[in-house]
Amino acid sequence: MLKLFNTLSRSKEVFTPIEDGKVRMYCCGPTVYNFQHIGNFRTFIFEDILRRTLDYNGFDVTHVMNITDVGHLVSDEDTGEDKMELSAKKTGKSVWDVSRFYTAEFLKDSSELNIISPTFLPKATDYIQDQIEMVKSLEIKGFTYKTSDGIYYDTSKIEDYGKLAKLDIKGLSKGHRVEFNSEKKNATDFALWKFSPENSNRQMEWESPWGKGFPGWHIECSAMSKKLLGDHFDILCGGIDHIPVHHSNELAQSEISNGEKFVNYWIHGEFLLLNEEKMSKSTGDFLTLKVLKNRGFTAMDYRYFLLNAHYKKKLKFSMEAMEGAKAGLANLKGKLNKITPENPDNTSNEIIEFYRDKFLEKINDDLNMPEALAVAWELIKDESIEPWIRRATLLDLDKVLGLRLGEIDEAEVIPEEITSLANERLEAKKNKDFKRSDELRNTIKEKGYSVLDNASGFEIKKL
C-alpha cells in the first residue's frame, strides 16, 4: 500500500488512483533560460523515484513534464522581464536558440542521472492556443479583469484561493508578496495573459483576443495538463517553492475552468542547500552536474548522495558529503559486482520476495529513500542468502533506486597495463627488490592509479 504526503491535506494519505491500475502524473519542469543546477535535479530525482515507485507497484503511469520556454518572469510574480528573453539578450542568441540549447542540456543531464523520460514533454510555446482557450473560459465565467499590462485572474472571486499553501489572504496586504502593481485588485491576483510592451519588441509574442502578447507563467501547466491528462488527474509535483504561487495559481485556474477538482495528490520536495541557503539560479550561486564531474564525481554518485535523505527534508550539499556518497556507492557496487551473474537452477523466490516486500514497505512509506537504501545494504550483506540470489534481488530493487548498480563504469575497469605493472611490482617485492618495487609504484601513480598491499596481493584504485 503506497502512502504519500499530500500538501493539500498536510497528511500522509493512502494513494488510490482515480482509474484502477492507472496513474496520471504531472511534474512542473525546468525554465530553460540557463543550466539546471543540482538543486533543480534534487526535485527531478525525487519525482523520478516517485515515478519508479509507481511503476514498481505495477501502475500504468502517464507522466507529463513541461518545458517552460515562455512567460516565467524574473520575479515569480508578474513583474520584471521574461527570463527567456533576458537570457537571449545577454547571450546575443535568439530566444528560440536559448530554449533549444538549455532543453538539450537538461535532457542530457537527466539521462546521465538515469531519470526516466516522461511520457510527454510538452513545451509551453507549442500550446499557446490551448492557453488562450483556457483564459477565454475564465473570462466567460467572470474571473478575469484587464489592466494596462495584461489580463489578470481575480482571486477574490473564489472562496478557497490559497487552500494549498494555507495562505493568510487577509494578512496579505496589497503588494505585500509582490512587487507593487497598483492596478492589481488583490495582492494574490496573477497574470493570465501579458501584453507585449508598446515600446520594445519581444521575440516571442502571439495574437490573442486581448491583443498581442504572451501567456502568464502558470496557465501553461493548467492548459497542457488538461490537454494531456484531462480535467482531473492523480498527482502534481514540484519543489516546495511552487506551493504558494505557481501551484496555488494552477489550482485556482484549473478548478474554475475545468469545473471540477483538479488534482488529488500534491507532492512537494524540499530544497538542496548550498552554504545554508537554497541553491538558486537567480543568485548565481549554484553548481551543475558538469562541475561535479570535473571534481571527479559521477552522476550516480550524486544520485546516491540524494537517496540518503528523505525528499521532504532540507539537504545540505558539500563536497565532503559527496566523497562519502562516492565511497558508499563504490562499496555497494563492488559487493554486487563481485558476484558472478550466472543464475544456477536452485534459485529461491522466497528470499527475493522477503527483501522486495521489506524494500517496498519503506519506499511505499512516502518514498522513504534512506530506509529503502538501508534494506539494499542489508540484503547484499546477508550471507545466509546465495550470492546470485542477492545479486538478482538487488538489481530488482535498483529499478526504483536507479543507481545502475549492475553497470561497471569504464573508470572502474583497471587497464591491463596497470595490472601488469602491479604484478611486476609484487614479484619485485617477493624478491626483496624494494628499489624496483618503489619505482613501479611511482609509475603506476603517474598513470593515475594507486596500489595498496593486502592479504591477497594488492588492490588497485583510480586516483
In terms of CB distance, is 41 or 56 closer to ligand AMP? 41
Q: Does 241 bind ligand AMP (CB under 6 A)?
A: yes
Taking CB within 5 to 8 Å according to partner kind, which of ligand AMP, Zn ion, none is near residue 31? ligand AMP
In terms of CB distance, is 71 or 150 closer to ligand AMP? 71
Give least dist CB 375 to Zn ion, A.
33
CB atoms inside a 10 Å sphere around CB 94:
12
Q: Does 215 bind ligand AMP (CB under 6 A)?
A: no
In terms of CB distance, is 143 or 271 closer to ligand AMP? 271
Task: Map grid coordinates 575497469 to a residue.
Answer: 413
Give least dist CB 42 to ligand AMP, A.
4
- The secondary structure of 124-182, three-state, reads HHHHHHHHHHHHHHHHHCCCEEECCCEEEECHHHCCCCCCCCCCCCCCCCCCCCCCCCC
Pure H helices in 230-368: 248-258, 289-294, 299-307, 319-338, 349-363
Give least dist CB 69 to ligand AMP, A.
11
Taking CB within 5 to 8 Å according to partner kind, which of Zn ion, ligand AMP, none is near residue 221? Zn ion
Q: Which one of 5, 7, 26, 39 is in contact with ligand AMP (CB under 6 A)?
A: 39
Taking CB within 5 to 8 Å according to partner kind, which of ligand AMP, Zn ion, none is near residue 271? ligand AMP
Give least dist CB 152 to ligand AMP, A.
22
Q: Does 242 bind ligand AMP (CB under 6 A)?
A: yes
Q: Which one of 6, 31, 144, 225 is in contact with ligand AMP (CB under 6 A)?
A: 31
Q: Which one of 30, 150, 213, 244 is in contact with ligand AMP (CB under 6 A)?
A: 30
Asked if 18 contacts 232 with a C-beta cutoff of 8 angstroms, the reply is yes
Total residues found in the chain within this entry: 463
Give least dist CB 107 to ligand AMP, A.
14
Give least dist CB 185 to Zn ion, A.
24
Helix (H, G, I), strand (E, B) or coil at 89: helix
CB atoms inside a 10 Å sphere around CB 389:
22
Q: Which one of 2, 6, 23, 42 is in contact with ligand AMP (CB under 6 A)?
A: 42
Task: Map grid coordinates 491576483 to a residue.
Answer: 189
In terms of CB distance, is 171 or 284 closer to ligand AMP? 284
The residue ranges that bind Zn ion (CB under 5 A) are 28, 221
> Is 184 exposed, middle or buried, given 0-12, 13-18 or 19+ CB atoms closer than 10 A?
buried
Taking CB within 5 to 8 Å according to partner kind, which of ligand AMP, Zn ion, none is near residue 272? ligand AMP
Taking CB within 5 to 8 Å according to partner kind, which of Zn ion, ligand AMP, none is near residue 323? none
CB atoms inside a 10 Å sphere around CB 125:
21
Give least dist CB 367 to ligand AMP, A.
15
Taking CB within 5 to 8 Å according to partner kind, which of ligand AMP, Zn ion, none is near residue 279? ligand AMP
In terms of CB distance, is 56 or 311 closer to Zn ion? 311
Q: How many residues bind ligand AMP (CB under 6 A)?
A: 16
Taking CB within 5 to 8 Å according to partner kind, which of ligand AMP, Zn ion, none is near residue 241? ligand AMP
Q: How far apart are CA 216 and CA 219, in angstroms?
A: 6
Q: Which residue is nearest to ligand AMP (CB)?
A: 239
Q: How far apart are CA 365 and CA 67, in angstroms?
A: 30
Dihedral sign computed on CA atoms, order 237, 238, 239, 245? negative
Q: Which one of 6, 7, 40, 144 is in contact with ligand AMP (CB under 6 A)?
A: 40
Q: Which range, of 14-22, 114-122, 222-230, 277-285, touches ligand AMP by CB under 6 A?
A: 277-285
In terms of CB distance, is 85 or 139 closer to ligand AMP? 85
Q: Which one of 118, 150, 239, 402 is in contact with ligand AMP (CB under 6 A)?
A: 239
Residues 6+ positions from 164 with CB-CB distance below 8 Å = 7, 8, 243, 247, 248, 251, 266
- What is the full DSSP assignment across 10-73? TEEEE---SBTTEEEEEE---BTTS---HHHHHHHHHHHHHHHHHHHTT-EEEEEE-BB-S--B
Give least dist CB 142 to ligand AMP, A.
31
- Interface mask toward ligand AMP for 79-118; x: CB under 6 A: ----------------------------------------
CA 230 to chain centroid:
23
Q: How far apart are CA 433 and CA 246, in angstroms?
A: 70
Asked if 242 contacts 268 with a C-beta cutoff of 8 angstroms, the reply is yes
**What are the C-alpha distances in Å from 104 to residues 32, 110, 150, 185?**
9, 10, 32, 40
Q: How far apart are CA 72 and CA 68, in angstroms?
A: 7
**Interface residues with ligand AMP (CB under 6 A)?**
28, 30-31, 39-40, 42-43, 238-239, 241-242, 271-272, 278-280
